[in-house]
Amino acid sequence: MAKKRFHKRHKVALLIEMSNAYSRGILRGISAYVNEHRSWSIYIREFSRGELDLHWTRAWQGDGIIARIETPAMAKAIKNLRVPTIDVSAARLLPKLPYVETDDAAIATLGVEHLLSRGFKRLGFCGADFAWARLRRQYFQALCDEKKVDCYVCPISKNAEGLTQEQELQHIRQWIRVLPKPAGVMAAYDIRGQHVMEACRSESVLVPEEIGIVSVDNDELLCHLCNPPMTSIVPDTYRTGYVAATYLDRLMQGETIEQQTTLIRPLGIALRKSSDITAIEDPVIGQAMNYIHEHACEYMTVSDLLNLTNLSRRVFERRFKQSIGRTPHEEIMRVRIDRVKALLLETDLSLNVIATRAGFDYGSYMSYVFKNRTGLSPGVFRRQHQTSPT
């Protein structure tokens, strides 16, 4: 009788702060991998960014680490341990390590395209002095240059981490005061987005009428504490954590990881009131856009839009494309596909039910349009990205 083979239980340290939704999402992805594959003995301490006690590393004898390496002290301690490590930070303080991170170019692209789709002709960016925030700003500015859109960046002090929150808010208030309006603003992350919202309130600037705001991380509690609730880009943190755990497991089994850099694309945008407006100078097209966003999932057609105007179809479609960059039909389909994505990620509804709720006559036609626009069938999209079905 063959002896049962027992796998060694690896000791793994997770140096990932739990003070924000982004990091907790990574931890959920790691947890899912461990539950599905093999049990690890996990070492984890509660801390926030830059506040980690590293004295334990001197005596720790573990097998692997997944860490957000964002301080020189953490980088030095991890390097001295000489164990397999996966980095999940954009700081790249140990550039020879494999790292798994959010695709900041894709995040910036989503932010720019969303604000432009709401009709804003001027865009702004409010960041922070972190590597990933600087990357998002750079990509945001480059995309604005490419699209020939005026871009206004809130200058961030190099010693911003030493400022009090009131000093930070005063700095942002000064920027909001001189920012040409209306404008669409992207914040590097949700906390900074909340700061922008507070600065607008202090300066009596209307959100979203004068400034539309989109942030990043989709911390639902924080986004709904804002008034109005804040639109936020949804990073695929679950997949980030899952892939990082996969790589670490392979390293601890003695394999090598040839792919040093793995970037995880965001899932989409959670639309809330802070950007839920159409800032379009052409009042006829602005009315049409508002109608689309309210009724696109109710089997509406371009003819319904024409009934709102006294324009011929040809003139209407020409003015629409000049203002939005898409035809009315393309905009209707874009809104419907965004609705399909949300229902795939947030529910266990069947494809036929989702098709009905998103304004499609048939599930098969919805699937065809979805794959044509995203490159994935609805089923594959759901399997790849859904983290915790409702």
For residue 2, pLDDT over 70 is answered with: no
pLDDT tens for 180-206 read: 988 999 999 999 999 999 999 999 888
| Sheet architecture: strand order including 64-67 | 41-44, 11-15, 64-67, 85-87, 99-102, 261-264
Question: Which range among 117-126, 154-163, 165-174 shows the weakest confidence by mean pLDDT?
Answer: 154-163
Residue 164's CB: how many other CB atoms inside 10 A?
8
CA distance 186 to 205: 16
- pLDDT at residue 49, rounded to an integer: 57
Averaged pLDDT of the chain: 87
Average pLDDT over residues 65-91: 90
In contact, 369 and 333? CB cutoff 8 Å: yes
The angle subtended at Cα 148 by Cα 336 and Cα 152, nearest 5°, is 95
Q: Name the helix (H) or strand (E) containing 56.
A: none
- pLDDT at residue 388, rounded to an integer: 40
Amino acid at 94: L
- pLDDT at residue 112, rounded to an integer: 96
Question: Which range among 97-111, 244-258, 265-279, 363-377 shows the weakest confidence by mean pLDDT?
Answer: 265-279
How far is residue 128 CA from its own chain's centroid?
A: 16
389 pLDDT band, cuts 50/70/90, is: very low
Strands 261-264 and 268-270, by their bridges, are unpaired
Average pLDDT over residues 231-252: 94
Residues with Cβ within 8 Å of 381's Cβ and at least 6 positions away in sequence, in order, are: 341, 344, 370, 374
For residue 390, pLDDT over 50 is answered with: no
For residue 111, pLDDT over 70 is answered with: yes
Asked whether this chain's domains 11-101+237-266 and 104-235+269-275 adopt the same fold, the reply is: yes
CA distance 311 to 319: 10
pTM, full prediction: 0.73
Strands 261-264 and 99-102, by their bridges, are parallel
Nearest CA among 149, 96, 101, 94 for reference residue 125: 149
CA distance 72 to 89: 13
Average pLDDT over residues 113-122: 89
Question: Which range among 60-64, 159-163, 310-314, 350-354 shows the weakest confidence by mean pLDDT?
Answer: 159-163
Amino acid at 66: I
Q: Which residue has the higher pLDDT, 7 or 341?
A: 341
For residue 19, pLDDT over 90 is answered with: no
- State which of 6-10, 142-146, 152-156, 207-211 shows the largest mean pLDDT: 142-146
Fold of 104-235+269-275: Rossmann fold (3.40.50)
Range 283-384 has CATH code 1.10.357.10? no
Strands 41-44 and 64-67, by their bridges, are unpaired
Nearest CA among 346, 247, 335, 236 for reference residue 288: 335
Q: What is the DSSP letter of 253?
A: T
155 pLDDT band, cuts 50/70/90, is: confident
Average pLDDT over residues 217-233: 92
Residues with Cβ within 8 Å of 228's Cβ and at least 6 positions away in sequence, in order, are: 207, 208, 272, 273, 274
Average pLDDT over residues 42-47: 77
Q: Residues 48-52: contacts with CB within 8 Å, 24+ apart?
A: 48/17, 48/19, 49/17, 49/19, 50/161, 51/17, 52/15, 52/17
Q: Would you call the peptide bond into 389 cis, given omega within 30 degrees of 0 as the criterion? A: no
Amino acid at 81: L
CA distance 245 to 22: 16
Range 11-101+237-266 has CATH code 3.20.20.150? no
- pLDDT at residue 1, rounded to an integer: 47
Question: Which range among 1-10, 116-125, 197-206, 349-358 shows the weakest confidence by mean pLDDT?
Answer: 1-10
Average pLDDT over residues 165-178: 88
Share of the chain above pLDDT 70, in %: 92
Average pLDDT over residues 292-310: 88
In contact, 77 and 56? CB cutoff 8 Å: no
Amino acid at 297: C
For 190, what's the count of Cα atoms within 13 Å in the CB-facing half-sphere? 24
The angle subtended at Cα 336 by Cα 333 and Cα 341, nearest 5°, is 125
Q: Name the helix (H) or strand (E) containing 313.
A: helix 313-324
Structure tokens at 152: 């206004």
Average pLDDT over residues 60-79: 89
For the chain, domain boundaries = 11-101+237-266, 104-235+269-275, 283-384
- pLDDT at residue 38, rounded to an integer: 76
Share of the chain above pLDDT 90, in %: 52
